[in-house]
Structure 1
């Protein structure tokens, strides 16, 4: 997909727009992006792969697919809109994972994100974890329910004024005394918040802050969580849009039923000294080793 992104210049995108009979949309960042290019959206190969697209779109706002989605669905608070039922199923799946309401993974993806706020233009005040370990919409859920600025960015709230009497605090109704105390507590957290006008917000994948999001780390993070129930496994594996042989292979992987050497040893088929990986790396050949950590097969 990276090669495709590099190989599609503005002229090619304009040709696609003419073929589909649409007028290209001019992007402030990179030129022309037609809405018809959404027909080229890639098909994801799994939830970890979809999370990778969430991460890529989050950190690479200058990339081709971010510009395509922005021209197709628009932005709100610096964030791509989810779109309606007439939009791409692929994008709706990506957006549901990004927003933490996916039926299978839940809030797993946003829970593993953190942001270092610069100018605050790409960080949502209520929904993102930026001033505390939990989003403000969770810690101050009552205030979030009453707020008229639910999708405001940190930069917008700061410009409107979040001190006493500031325009950032707009409520649907008059506040009760105990609710006003919550506002005071929320403002006290903002005393240490310093925005840097010339610096963009930087997102971090907390399981691996150095390398960022990778499918292998995501897999290990999911496995380390609470073991999935049968319903969750069924939703992940048995899908109509996935070939049966792929679903069966994945089922055997989750159930540790693949004929790896560690499994063959446990069944008494091979001796203990024959458990080493066939690549010659010196490690035992388990499913996790083969698919993730092997120096030879783990990179395929």
Structure 2
């Protein structure tokens, strides 16, 4: 047995199809109260006809009161945040950012996406059908944000600030007809705002649909998907617009490799010299592989004698001639080889990135496990890993292992 007991003083006895006297007699025997329909259980009404709208009003009112408390806690006075209606946080207003929880994390994620110029917070807009499910002032439907932010005087003079689009404007064959309800007559700048709002309303092109729907401006079909958002974020973060770098998108390698190269080009990998710049106390800042020089990104990936040997084998494997500082620098910048086809250049970039990635992984094995590879082993691992990544990501071109490992492969 669980050991739980029934608290009869807080319990009630209800009857269906039983006379009231019988219920009272049984309640005296049990020791509980007599209950009557309808009653509330877990906040929901029991015993009422829930097909009637008025029976849902207590539930809706309770949710609205809770929502008011939520707004008071989560929305700052300086502006608004990302919300169910696509609201946008005002720059500089910390609001919920100092709190923890699911929704503050969503807000922070939305702000981070906006920092890469996607304008995610303003990418949702309502397309009007009958206008019954869109709030005129709060929902973004006419402009890329709520109308109450642009027409503040009109919003404060509005008699019903939660009015729907249908209650304020209708479309017919003769054009647009507005139904305003103000708390007082409009004067001064309020009249100017009304004129600007009217011009916007008359220029709005209403879609031929029956219901109001959300439309996502960042998708051609207007439907939000996490796959599409992920692709947009990847395109925005993995494409470097600075002139000295080419595109950091290569469909032949996994995403983790693109991110690694992105970090390399921005000096974001934790070499010893970079850690020392951040004030981390280290026993030495010299290269853990060769101990010949301080460990910079260029030294680790290219000029360390162990890395240099790996690159020399890769260059000979591809028939690119004798390795030199100039050729390594060109590889670092992702320069293409005119002797190769477009596919050949794409495969070479994938090989080059794989080589850098495995050199860095070998460096970490040396630091943390005191293990290190040699030249032949390194080349074989680069070939195996490259073949694995490339062969599973090429649809139109079949890559064969024997073809990939022969010398002078750059003729692809």
TM-score normalised to structure 1 length: 0.45
TM-score (norm: length of structure 2): 0.34
> Considering only CA atoms, is the larger Rg found in Structure 1 or Structure 2?
2
Larger relative CO (CA 8 A, sep 6+): 1 or 2? 1
